[in-house]
Amino acid sequence: MKKLLLVIGVLCLSLSAFAEKLNGTFEGKLHEVSGEITADTDGKEVVISNFTYDGKGKNVYIVLTKDGDFKNSEIISKELKKAVVNDELKIKVNNLSKLIDKGYNTVSVYTKTGKSSFGDAVLTKEASVTVTPVAPTTAAPKK
């Protein structure tokens, strides 16, 4: 019993939080699209840092897809109507966690008019764990 308590005391760590960060970088195809994407699976926001788009496309949106398949894409932004240069774009996505769980793994700058992508970023998961140490406990003496 003492050995068990000693092992528990030494190894006693509490995992207080587990979240997956999603990261990706746009591979631009047209209209100078570039930027880095970050999102937390438990969050409701996609952040695109250093985002650049020349604003010359028509009917253009940021969308989430499953492996770049636009048939079932989810539009997550308002229409992009003007140029953006190295700016930060924050997009609120209330159902982000559910979409990721359903296999949505690519963010694209997509034109509905031309039915094509100006740039895509495949999201990869970076697991992060927050560890909180807990003080070891001692057992009451056996009677």
Per-residue pLDDT of the chain (143 residues; tens, 9 = 90+): 555 444 444 343 333 345 578 888 898 888 889 999 998 767 788 999 999 999 999 999 999 999 988 998 999 999 999 999 999 999 998 888 888 889 999 999 999 998 999 999 999 987 555 555 555 555 555 65
* Strand locations in 26-59 (E): 27-28, 34-40, 45-53
How much is the pTM? 0.73
Task: Report how far residue 130's alpha carbon sits from residue 133's, in angstroms, rounded to the nearest whole number.
Answer: 10
The SS3 of residue 43 is coil
